[in-house]
């Protein structure tokens, strides 16, 4: 096979919109919404196929209205959405010709993926599909010998007669269907490599070459090589033909962002749940407060990354109330402050070191501005570290455009090089979650 030559210019062109978008919605939905104990319910409870099939016979999301989903995502300030086309259980939310285990064969009879993509595009959002490389339904996928298959401990499900190559043909055919029959895909979110199942074990070069031939602008995550753990070959400086376009840290935010072996920043997206489950979980009410979710979005951007925030719709196709409340609250903050998110990243300027995170919050930068995010009020004026007085054109509240005066009172005289922004005498911040100070830099 000819040597793979990484085309950095094409790569940077491909990921540009993604780095500017910064904020997306992840959607985990399928049969597992009925047992409502998370998307791994079959594996965790070692549930036999025939027991799981009762959910297939029952699945009928009478309230499914993806336009409502897309509007909720847009309302929250999200710029893209990623829906599970097939999760580890193998159930296809699309009309695949290679299986009967699909949404068009359930009571709803609908191609849920097609409707989802139409809705996202109608709301002018970029749209992607998550596709699990695993498949606990397919006969040729490892069962008893696998480390996570629901029947992994049941000798009655030995791997005798299972042809993994036959599964790979099925998997590649489905990816081809998704890349052929559903218009322009913006993201292909594969999940996940584990043990010896990674890279060419998935025939990943052939898979990515096919996907890129059909969807030349699609961006692909790094999970043909790794999972939430590991960064992938692009980070290691020797990109494979199936290197991810972005690193996909899961349920955590990288302490320093993500860099390759040479210290160059990499494109990354943290995928995080609002509660503790990807799929709908009826008793998991441990939802992160909206204030925390806003600050985590700011944290991701301040470290040069994206946040893919998950919603697990219920079996009728509705978002949980807790999720809707948070999306609305995040949207309210984004209405006034999204300029400190979109097109922004680490507070680093030409030839200068990144500005250290301030005690009181975080800093994002972009559009020739620095954005000081004040999560916790300071005693006295707010030190705008990392910028010189002579570089400053104006200092404003981002939310209102109101001017913020600076102060160089005697108490600050020991720090002549630091610009201090005077937010006034009220100890309560104008926005107690995150008051954003916009520093417009001189051209």
Tell me which residues touch ligand GLC (CB under 6 A). 28, 39-40, 191-192, 227, 250, 271, 278
Burial code (b: 16+ CB inside 10 Å, e: under 16) for 94-104 equals: bbbeebebbbb
Q: Cα 422 to chain center, whole Å?
A: 36
Residue number, 14 or 88, with CB nearest to ligand GLC: 88
Least gap, CB of 218 to ligand GLC (angstroms): 18
CA 104 to CA 235: how far, in whole Å? 40
Least gap, CB of 294 to ligand GLC (angstroms): 21
From residue 293, give the alpha-carbon distance in Å to each of 132, 283, 334. 26, 20, 12
> What tokens does 138 get?
């397919």
CA 72 to CA 190: how far, in whole Å? 24
DSSP string spanning 406-435?
A: B---GGGTT-TTSEEE---S-SS-SSSS-E
From residue 397, give the alpha-carbon distance in Å to each of 159, 362, 430. 63, 15, 9
Provide the Cα torsion 367, 217, 179, 117; round to 10°: 20
Residue number, 169 or 227, with CB nearest to ligand GLC: 227
At 323 the three-state DSSP class reads helix
Residue number, 39 or 431, with CB nearest to ligand GLC: 39
Residue number, 254 or 331, with CB nearest to ligand GLC: 254
Residue number, 149 or 362, with CB nearest to ligand GLC: 149
Least gap, CB of 227 to ligand GLC (angstroms): 6
Least gap, CB of 439 to ligand GLC (angstroms): 36
Least gap, CB of 269 to ligand GLC (angstroms): 10
Beta strands 361-366 and 419-421, pairing class: unpaired
Least gap, CB of 350 to ligand GLC (angstroms): 35
CA neighbor of 195 nearest in space, from 162, 232, 166, 226: 226
Least gap, CB of 339 to ligand GLC (angstroms): 29
Least gap, CB of 371 to ligand GLC (angstroms): 28
Least gap, CB of 38 to ligand GLC (angstroms): 8
Least gap, CB of 148 to ligand GLC (angstroms): 8
What is the 8-class DSSP label of residue 49? H
> What tokens does 212 get?
């890129």
CA 342 to CA 74: how far, in whole Å? 13
DSSP string spanning 169-230?
A: HHHHHHHHHHHHHSS--SEEEEE--BTTBSGGGGTHHHHHHHHHHH-TT-EEBSTTT--SSS
Residue number, 93 or 419, with CB nearest to ligand GLC: 93
Least gap, CB of 132 to ligand GLC (angstroms): 7
Burial code (b: 16+ CB inside 10 Å, e: under 16) for 301-313 equals: bbbbbbbbbbbbb
Query: What phi and psi, each to the nearest 5 degrees, are found at residue 87?
Result: -100, -175
Residue number, 83 or 347, with CB nearest to ligand GLC: 83
Kind and range of the H or E element at 301? helix 290-302
Residue number, 227 or 378, with CB nearest to ligand GLC: 227
CA neighbor of 303 nearest in space, from 251, 266, 250: 266
Residue number, 245 or 434, with CB nearest to ligand GLC: 245
Residue number, 235 or 421, with CB nearest to ligand GLC: 235
From residue 417, give the alpha-carbon distance in Å to each of 17, 359, 413, 414. 36, 18, 9, 9
Residue number, 87 or 212, with CB nearest to ligand GLC: 87
Q: Are 84 and 30 in contact (CB under 8 A)?
A: yes
């Amino acid at each position: 096979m000819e040597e793979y030559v990484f085309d950095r210019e094409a790569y940077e062109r491909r990921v540009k919109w993604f780095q500017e978008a910064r904020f997306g919605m992840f959607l985990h939905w399928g049969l597992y919404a009925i047992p409502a104990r998370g998307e791994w319910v079959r594996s965790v409870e070692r549930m036999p196929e025939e027991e799981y099939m009762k959910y297939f016979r029952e699945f009928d999301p009478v309230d499914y209205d993806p336009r409502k989903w897309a509007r909720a995502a847009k309302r929250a300030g999200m710029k893209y959405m990623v829906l599970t086309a097939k999760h580890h259980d193998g159930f296809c939310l699309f009309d695949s010709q290679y299986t009967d285990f699909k949404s068009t064969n359930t009571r709803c009879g609908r191609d849920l993926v097609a409707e989802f993509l139409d809705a996202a595009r109608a709301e002018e959002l970029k749209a992607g599909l998550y596709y699990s490389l695993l498949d606990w339904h397919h006969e040729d996928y490892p069962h008893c010998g696998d480390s996570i298959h629901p029947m992994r401990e049941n000798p009655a499900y030995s791997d005798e007669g299972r042809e993994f190559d036959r599964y790979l043909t099925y998997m590649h055919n489905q990816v081809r269907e998704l890349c052929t029959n559903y218009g322009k895909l913006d993201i292909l979110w594969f999940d996940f490599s584990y043990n010896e199942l990674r890279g060419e074990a998935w025939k990943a070069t052939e898979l990515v070459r096919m996907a890129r031939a059909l969807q030349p602008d699609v961006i692909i995550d790094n999970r043909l090589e790794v999972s939430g753990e590991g960064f992938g070959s692009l980070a290691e400086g020797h990109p494979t033909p199936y290197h991810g376009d972005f690193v996909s840290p899961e349920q955590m935010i990288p302490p320093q962002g993500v860099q390759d072996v040479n210290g160059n920043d990499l494109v990354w997206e943290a995928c995080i749940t609002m509660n503790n489950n990807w799929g709908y979980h009826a008793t998991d009410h441990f939802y992160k407060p909206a204030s925390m979710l806003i600050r985590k979005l700011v944290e991701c951007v301040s470290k040069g990354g994206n946040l893919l925030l998950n919603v697990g719709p219920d079996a009728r196709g509705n978002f949980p109330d807790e999720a809707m409340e948070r999306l609305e609250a995040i949207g309210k903050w984004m209405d006034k402050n999204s300029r400190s998110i979109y097109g922004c990243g680490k507070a680093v300027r030409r030839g200068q070191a990144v500005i250290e995170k301030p005690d009181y919050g975080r800093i994002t930068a972009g559009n020739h501005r620095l954005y000081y995010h004040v999560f916790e009020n300071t005693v006295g004026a707010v030190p705008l570290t990392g910028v010189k007085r002579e570089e400053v054109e104006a200092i404003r509240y981002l939310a209102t455009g109101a001017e913020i005066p600076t102060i160089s009172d005697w108490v600050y005289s020991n720090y002549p090089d630091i610009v201090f922004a005077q937010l006034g005498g009220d100890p309560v911040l104008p926005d107690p979650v995150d008051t954003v100070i916009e520093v417009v830099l001189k051209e």
